[in-house]
Amino acid sequence: MLHSLHSPAQKKSERKPVLVLLHGRGADEHDLFGIKEMFPPEYEITSLRAPFEFDWGGFTWFEMFENGSVDETSFQQSRAEAMDSLSLLKKENLILLGFSMGAIMSYALALTAPKLCKGIACLSGFAPKELQSRYKLRELQELRIFISHGINDPVIPIDMARETKEMLSHSNGIVSYHEYAMGHEINAECMKDVRLWLEQFV
């Protein structure tokens, strides 16, 4: 079972949107939870912790190799645990937001399970190519996808985000793509755009 943190909505909403945060490699469930006040107050917010300890501290969702490929065994275990945690929420208006490896995990969850959520916000990540045969790109039922990336990202090159955008152009998802003059981070401009994007689900 994945560890999680939960914050109730500040404002009541009939649709009760739930935002699930997935942190990057080497962090934990407290990382993105620290910016929860930046999100629309109608959201309930849950932050998940990745299941594997990372050698340099924190936690990781799976083993990722230098070429950007993922370890199949750890990935499948992590995906199964994440799906179990999300199923416990029993929410129809579910949104995933991931940073870096959390964004990779968000892609892997939503693109292989089209009915899982209403939208995903993938910040500074990419959709792994070796999983593409499992993506149900024509069954996304207009899944809303927010993509952001820094043009100076030294960790995950901007080209990987652009390749993901191109792949999703052949899907029936609704993609909102943004590039920023930043590195591997979430700057103020990106945060503003994420909030505006999230408001459509309230």
| Reported confidence tier of residue 179, pLDDT bands at 50, 70, 90 | very high
CATH code assigned to 4-201:
3.40.50.1820
- Taking the C-alpha atoms of residue 27 and residue 36, their distance in angstroms, rounded to an integer, is 16
Contact 30, 5 (CB under 8 A): yes
- Taking the C-alpha atoms of residue 202 and residue 188, their distance in angstroms, rounded to an integer, is 22
Q: Where are the domains of the chain?
A: 4-201
DSSP state of 51: S
| Reported confidence tier of residue 171, pLDDT bands at 50, 70, 90 | very high
- Per-residue model confidence (pLDDT) at position 9: 87
Cα distance between the two ends of the chain: 29
Q: Is the pLDDT of residue 1 over 60?
A: no
pLDDT digits (tens, 9 = 90+) for 93-136: 899 999 999 999 999 999 999 889 999 999 999 998 888 888 99
- Per-residue model confidence (pLDDT) at position 153: 97
